[in-house]
A and B are shown apart, each in its own frame.
Chain A
């Protein structure tokens, strides 16, 4: 019986390895085109950032990332998918919002929070960082002024791998 317990523990251990793939969920791009989340391409590090137009820390974080975005994209091939969880009330506002802020990210609309649920996100902002092989390297929730420095460092490290 003890052996059985051991095997079950081992099995659970093997199964509970880090998330290596992104669940496939059908959502939309900011201009209304269908987008399947399993089509996210890994040419370099990938950031999936859950946000909303009404979430101030989310907007602050995405505004802070802009500072280094161009340089990082060039150096490492970084791609940022900014997934808005705005519902039908505010989702039409996302395109003007993104343009006014001059965000260079790939913006997706998850109007009924299907992708949010599949990624186990509780509150926004919630940021997932993947390496170029699609392995989840880190995730964090909430944003404090200055958090972006750590993010830039991590992306540069991943770019060199």
Chain B
């Protein structure tokens, strides 16, 4: 009987496979794996566990068969690496989905990510390096009824570590006018408009305040592209949403983001302006930090990647901020006095961010008093200065084997707002970075990075040198030392240590195709890691790190 059954199964399976191959809709299994492990020899801080192992691991599997795709992600934090929230402790499959996609229709049940417009009222995403994941769980629909018309809808709960709760509903529509009207003339401006509506529901349990159960937010956006010009903007509005973020006040929230760029071969200019007022939007009104966030208004300041220029990173203040960022980049042509033989690139950038102006409602009410309308705010009035970043970067290729870049940056950072470390005052700093690469031959290259941060505040001065040696296509070796030589009475911070501190690292790695393994040993300084405007605090530690990643 068993044999008959087996035979029958064999026939069914092979027929299906043969048929599938003939129609060229064979299923595809793909995925990836990432393991980050650490052995801490010393935590260098009292609050963390003194030593031991930490491991974060993720494995994704996606299976696609014709119009269907199914997938899942296994996650393991046993225990989580230092700096990741200990609420992640454990393992499981917090992400799984099944989706169907025909020509104009797509729907997903289970978990998914989504962004409406610039993310001002809805953005669900994951950033593993930050331990951030606000995946949605529910149903998502995307529909493209006509050319140029895109509709989306969702009904879902939100991920918070290992649980899903809260309730979020949203719709979004976008019309690409040229496509919808069938305008094919590419000489004409290219226009698109869009709008979204998101609402959340939470039981209004509070007895002292009359809280809204449903809170809605809407946003409208438009963009026009003409020749090298691109102008886009989004305005968002949120009805009163008393929450822990705004001390349970009833003021409506609003946000405005405008981007303007012009570029042509060898030249680009970029300007963005933003204003946010009371724009934290969470599916749980009592939550804080990065929990239950429905939206993610984009941060306005430039994102820095060199270690010392990223020492004091800007983070969006959704309760209220206004700012500007502008940038001009130009490439001096080859064979000109400034361009030299290979051309020279210059990039000048300025970011400025302020608080919004807040005025009390009347003489009897304090600004932001619980249960009131909070404050009045003049849309165009600036509040306190929070952040300035002005930098110039030069990129130059000197010969076929030698190229380099030089960056000079000035930064003002109000640490009373951003709270990076314990020094809660304004930090003024000057940062210089030189980055040089020398190609020894076709496969071997060395790169030297020299960085310096000068400040009289916080921990004082820092210097850093990094040397990297690479052998294409498989190997890399890196060694660096970051030195804090700040104290000695040079800073106004009495807690700055009066001795030279070294934070060093040795690492090497091997890459083959899409598989990579990296081992390092070092002493990590306390700091903040940021990506996409969200930041994570990383405590100081000393130890070994092993990273493995693979895509298959």
Inter-chain contact B26/A15, CB cutoff 8 Å: yes
- B335 part of interface (Cβ distance < 8 Å): no
- B290 part of interface (Cβ distance < 8 Å): no
8 Å CB interface, B251-275 against A: 259, 261-270, 272
The verdict on A26 contacting B69 (CB below 8 Å), with A32-B230, A88-B118, A149-B472 known, is: no
Chain A residues, Cβ within 8 Å of B515: 141
Chain A residues, Cβ within 8 Å of B303: 54, 89-90
Inter-chain contact B62/A7, CB cutoff 8 Å: no
Which one of A56, A97, A120 contacts B32 once the chains associate, using CB atoms below 8 Å? Answer: A120
Question: Which of A54, A99, A118, A123 has the most chain B CB atoms closer than 10 A to its own CB?
Answer: A99
Instruction: Count CB-based A-B contacts (< 8 Å).
Output: 194
Inter-chain contact B9/A4, CB cutoff 8 Å: yes
Chain A residues, Cβ within 8 Å of B162: none
The verdict on A87 contacting B60 (CB below 8 Å), with A20-B28, A147-B473 known, is: no
Which one of B29, B262, B296 contacts A15 once the chains associate, using CB atoms below 8 Å? Answer: B29
- A95 part of interface (Cβ distance < 8 Å): yes
Inter-chain contact B331/A102, CB cutoff 8 Å: yes
Question: Which of B264, B298, B441 has the most chain A CB atoms closer than 10 A to its own CB?
Answer: B298
Inter-chain contact A150/B125, CB cutoff 8 Å: no
A142→B517 CA distance, assembly (Å) = 11
Chain B residues, Cβ within 8 Å of A24: 101
- A160 part of interface (Cβ distance < 8 Å): no
A89→B113 CA distance, assembly (Å) = 18
CB distance from A123 to the nearest CB of B (A): 7
A144→B148 CA distance, assembly (Å) = 41
Which one of A31, A87, A97, A145 contacts B437 once the chains associate, using CB atoms below 8 Å? Answer: A145
Inter-chain contact A121/B259, CB cutoff 8 Å: no
8 Å CB interface, A1-36 against B: 1, 3-4, 7, 11, 14-17, 19-21, 23-24, 26, 31-34
The verdict on A96 contacting B225 (CB below 8 Å), with A3-B6, A139-B513 known, is: no
Which one of B28, B192, B471, B532 contacts A19 once the chains associate, using CB atoms below 8 Å? Answer: B28
8 Å CB interface, A70-123 against B: 87-90, 92-93, 95-102, 111-114, 117-118, 120-123
Contact with A along B423-463 (1 / 0, CB 8 A): 00000000000000101011111010000000000000000
Which one of A56, A93, A126, A144 contacts B473 once the chains associate, using CB atoms below 8 Å? Answer: A144
Question: Which of A7, A90, A95, A120 has the most chain B CB atoms closer than 10 A to its own CB?
Answer: A120
- B352 part of interface (Cβ distance < 8 Å): no
Inter-chain contact A144/B445, CB cutoff 8 Å: yes
Inter-chain contact B9/A95, CB cutoff 8 Å: no
CB distance from B173 to the nearest CB of A (A): 13
Inter-chain contact B176/A34, CB cutoff 8 Å: yes
The verdict on A141 contacting B28 (CB below 8 Å), with A89-B298, A99-B266 known, is: no
Chain B residues, Cβ within 8 Å of A102: 265-266, 331
- B3 part of interface (Cβ distance < 8 Å): yes
Inter-chain contact B263/A96, CB cutoff 8 Å: yes
- B299 part of interface (Cβ distance < 8 Å): yes
Chain A residues, Cβ within 8 Å of B232: 32, 92
8 Å CB interface, A31-56 against B: 31-34, 54-56
The verdict on A146 contacting B329 (CB below 8 Å), with A20-B28, A87-B298 known, is: no
- A138 part of interface (Cβ distance < 8 Å): yes
- A157 part of interface (Cβ distance < 8 Å): no
Inter-chain contact B13/A11, CB cutoff 8 Å: yes
A42→B377 CA distance, assembly (Å) = 55
Inter-chain contact A120/B551, CB cutoff 8 Å: yes
Chain B residues, Cβ within 8 Å of A100: 263, 266-268, 329-331, 345, 347
Inter-chain contact A99/B516, CB cutoff 8 Å: no
CB distance from B451 to the nearest CB of A (A): 14
The verdict on A17 contacting B442 (CB below 8 Å), with A34-B179, A120-B551, A150-B472 known, is: no
Inter-chain contact A92/B60, CB cutoff 8 Å: no
- B78 part of interface (Cβ distance < 8 Å): no
Which one of B27, B63, B472 contacts A145 once the chains associate, using CB atoms below 8 Å? Answer: B472
A27→B98 CA distance, assembly (Å) = 20
8 Å CB interface, B288-343 against A: 296, 298-300, 303, 305, 327, 329-331
A111→B119 CA distance, assembly (Å) = 10
Inter-chain contact B269/A96, CB cutoff 8 Å: yes
- B552 part of interface (Cβ distance < 8 Å): yes
A90→B443 CA distance, assembly (Å) = 33
The verdict on A144 contacting B472 (CB below 8 Å), with A99-B265, A99-B267 known, is: yes
A118→B441 CA distance, assembly (Å) = 37
A89→B262 CA distance, assembly (Å) = 17
A75→B60 CA distance, assembly (Å) = 38
A4→B4 CA distance, assembly (Å) = 11
- B398 part of interface (Cβ distance < 8 Å): no
The verdict on A92 contacting B6 (CB below 8 Å), with A100-B330, A141-B549, A150-B472 known, is: no
Inter-chain contact B551/A126, CB cutoff 8 Å: yes
- B115 part of interface (Cβ distance < 8 Å): yes
The verdict on A113 contacting B125 (CB below 8 Å), with A88-B119, A97-B329, A144-B473 known, is: yes
Q: Which residue of A lies closest to B435 (CB)?
A: A56
Inter-chain contact B445/A145, CB cutoff 8 Å: yes
Inter-chain contact B270/A96, CB cutoff 8 Å: yes
Q: Which residue of A lies closest to B437 (CB)?
A: A145
Chain B residues, Cβ within 8 Å of A111: 115
Contact with B along A122-157 (1 / 0, CB 8 A): 110010000000000011111011110110000000
CB distance from B328 to the nearest CB of A (A): 9
Query: Known pairs A16-B29, A100-B347. 16 more at Cβ < 8 A?
Result: A21-B28, A34-B150, A56-B305, A88-B123, A88-B296, A89-B532, A92-B261, A93-B261, A95-B268, A100-B267, A102-B331, A112-B123, A141-B514, A142-B509, A144-B445, A145-B447
10 contacts between A and B (CB under 8 A): A7-B10, A32-B230, A54-B305, A92-B259, A100-B266, A100-B347, A114-B113, A139-B513, A141-B513, A146-B473
